[in-house]
Amino acid sequence: MGVAVVVWTGCPDGRSVRSPEQLSSALADVEKAAQSQGPLLMVITRRDDGSLAVGVSEIGWWLGFTNATNEPPYFQSKGEVGVPGDDINFDDGHEGPWVRSDTLIPAAVGRRAALEFGETGHLSKEVPWEEV
C-alpha cells in the first residue's frame, strides 16, 4: 500500500496511513465518531489515483469518487439501503455533501470498498457505481 491521507470532520488536518491496518483503524475511528455525532464524511486521497469520499452513517455508507485530475467522470455508489426521496448530510449541514439516501450501501460493503481503494487505488467491483 502506498501512502493515503484520510481527512474527516474530527481530524481536519488528516492522518497519513501507510498500511491496511492503519487505514482500518482510521475507518473504525470514523465509525465510532458517527455513532455519537451523526453522519460524518471522510476522504481517502491517493495522490496518483484520486479521492474517495466516504459518508458514514448508521443507516448506510455513501461513496463518491473523483480521479486525480479532478476532471469527469465522477462516480458515486448506487444504493440499496436508503429510502428514495430522503436526503442525508454528511457534515452536520455545513459544507459536506447532501446525498440521496438511495445511494447508500451497507456499511460492511462500504468499509471493504474504502479499504480496497486505500490499498490499491481501485474502485471496488462489489459496489454498484453510477456516473454523476
pTM above 0.75, yes or no: yes
Q: What CA–CA distance (Å, rounded) separates 43 from 64?
A: 9
Q: What CA–CA distance (Å, rounded) separates 27 from 40?
A: 11
**pLDDT, tens digit, for every residue of 1-52?**
566 777 776 677 778 888 889 999 989 988 998 888 888 888 899 888 999 9
Res 93: pLDDT = 46
Residue 81 scores a pLDDT above 70: no
